[in-house]
Amino acid sequence: MRTIHEVSKLAGVSVRTLHHYDTIGLLPPTKLTEAGYRLYDDTALARLQSILLFRELEFPLKDIKQILDDPSFDQATALGDQIKLLELRQKQLGKLIILARETMKTGVIPMKFDAFDRTEQKKFAAEIKEKWGGTAAYREYRQREENGTVGDPAELMAQFAALGKLKALSPATPEVQAAVRDLQQFITEHFYTCTPEILAGLGEMYSADERFRAGIDKAGGEGTAEFVSKAIAAYCGE
């Protein structure tokens, strides 16, 4: 058994994120000590590894939970996919290292653009998403992506910037709730149908996922991600 702090160091995931994964039922601890401390066994660590694989592929947490809870989910296959993806990245890093060494030795950057080519990685990542991404929202997003009608991420960030300007207000005030409704409508119109369930999951992810939190705070100012998360929770009646 490992403590939550040991798992955090082992996996490179913050304790706060692990707490959130427990809260939403994505990664509950194997057991709690009498003092209430979380402990994780090897089965839990294997599940965390799968979670990190799908997060690397930018799957929403809600979708990851559905995938991992599906009785047909094959842990060995998922790990095999992760290994192949890592091997492809290792291959590209090897090319970049060779390029950097040649540049350092000669002082001239060689004309070897293949070192920056991530085609293989992207292709395999797409294959994994195709294999595991069975949710309706993901299929809708893929369809829009193929049709060239998916929204501009910069415009989505503008939605968060607008919400950031309201941080002085309570998340439950009508003005803030109207902004959340606009965000939900924007996602529906430009990315995928954002149901109340999906919106609630996004709200949790915005504050728990470090990458999303950093991007949203950059758009709307420090604390915006946490504020948006609370506003969405109020909007969804949580």
> For the chain, how many structural domains are there in total?
3
Which domain-ending residue is among 90, 111, 134?
A: 134
| Residue 27 resides in a domain | yes
Q: Is the dihedral of CA 158, 163, 139, 120 positive or negative?
A: positive
Q: Is residue 188 domain-shared with residue 227, that is, in the same domain?
A: yes
| Residue 61 resides in a domain | no
Q: Is the pLDDT at 130 greater than 70, yes or no?
A: no
Please check whether residue 48 is in contact with residue 65, taking contact to mean a CB–CB distance below 8 angstroms. no
Question: What pLDDT is stored for residue 111 in this prediction?
Answer: 46
pLDDT (tens digit per residue) in 4-54: 999 999 999 899 999 999 999 999 999 999 999 999 999 999 899 888 877
Neighbours of 32 (CB within 10 A): 11
Average pLDDT over residues 118-132: 59
DSSP-assigned beta bridge partners for residue 47 = none
Neighbours of 72 (CB within 10 A): 5
Side chain identity at residue 202, one-letter code: L
pLDDT (tens digit per residue) in 45-72: 989 988 887 787 667 787 788 788 877 6
Which domain-ending residue is among 103, 134, 165?
A: 134
Joined together, the tokens standing for residue 56 give 């690397």
pLDDT (tens digit per residue) in 168-210: 999 999 999 999 999 999 999 988 888 888 888 888 888 887 7
Higher pLDDT, 132 or 79: 79
CA distance 233 to 193: 18
Residue 3: in which H helix or E strand, if any?
strand 2-3
Q: Is residue 51 domain-shared with residue 81, that is, in the same domain?
A: no
Q: What is the 3-state secondary structure (H, E, C) of 51-92?
A: HHHHHHCCCCHHHHHHHHHCCCCCHHHHHHHHHHHHHHHHHH
Q: Is residue 35 domain-shared with residue 102, that is, in the same domain?
A: no
Q: Is residue 155 domain-shared with residue 220, that is, in the same domain?
A: yes
Question: What pLDDT is stored for residue 126 in this prediction?
Answer: 62
Joined together, the tokens standing for residue 139 give 């299929």
Q: Is residue 226 domain-shared with residue 193, that is, in the same domain?
A: yes
Domain that holds residue 32: 2-56
